[in-house]
Amino acid sequence: MALLENIAFVFVAGLLSALATGVGALPFFFFDSISDRRNVVLWGLSSGIMLSASLFGLVDEGLAEGTALEIAIGMAAGVALVVVAREVIVDADIDPREYEEADFKKLVLILGILTVHSFPEGIAVGVSFADLGLEGGTQILGFTVPLLAIFMTIAIAIHNVPEGTAISIPLKTMGVSEWKMVWWAAFSSLPQPIGAVMAFAFVRIARTLLPYGFGFAAGAMIYLVLSEFIPEALDVGEELPGGGKRELAGGIAVGIAIMVPLAFV
């Protein structure tokens, strides 16, 4: 019974981080558009948060549980998962405009593609809850929650906000209503709570593989930053002075500055 309660708690944590993507659509209730400059900064902010969470959260905790080699093997496996998943799902890059125009079968396919993007983030949340219910955590709703889990859930939630904004921009050009933009933004992160539960159950059952789990999540997220977020930011900022590199670097610096203090609380 306790295991089921823990799984439910982890699912809710993953779901809350996923729903934060919908927050990214809220600015469109008040503004008609988001400038390219601000959009690049948001992508940089998201990248800085993900890199901080991976290095100062997952990798650091992994080294406390195992060896550098185990972490490295896990990271390689995480990168491989994302690469292979992209190869299996042809045309893994989709335009959010397709969300609004798709029928049910198309939406199922889109959700599968989105899994490649958001599933690793759910894994990161789930792995961070490995010590749920054990000593040394913080009491939340009767559960002893590891500090790493709080850090990772907050990090992924904050990271999801700019993603929601990026998803909402093309939908806004189609005249999609603000509340539907909130829904589609949240929809894009639905695989996260599923990934969180699967990762949590796995590391609780196979405790000896926990260091590999930390490395796996870190590797997948770092690869996503380098292969998706930063290229996307540079693509958006192509027309800006300097190609948007200054805005991107500033956003990354702010994201790191926000998350590093939380990692050492």
Q: What is the pLDDT of residues 159-181, one digit of tens each?
A: 888 888 888 888 887 788 888 88
Q: Which of 55, 50, 84 is nearest to 233 (CA)?
A: 50
Q: What is the pLDDT of residues 189-223, one digit of tens each?
A: 888 999 999 999 888 888 888 899 999 999 988 99
Q: Which residues of the chain have pLDDT under 50?
A: 1
Give the per-residue pLDDT at 9: 92
Distance CA 186, CA 153 (A): 16
Q: What is the pLDDT of residues 64-77, one digit of tens each?
A: 888 999 999 999 99
Tell me which amino acid residue 7 is: I
CA angle 71, 251, 125 (to 5 degrees): 35
- Its pTM stands at 0.84
**What token pair was written down for 228?**
């998706």
Query: Is 248 in a helix, a strand, or coil?
Result: helix
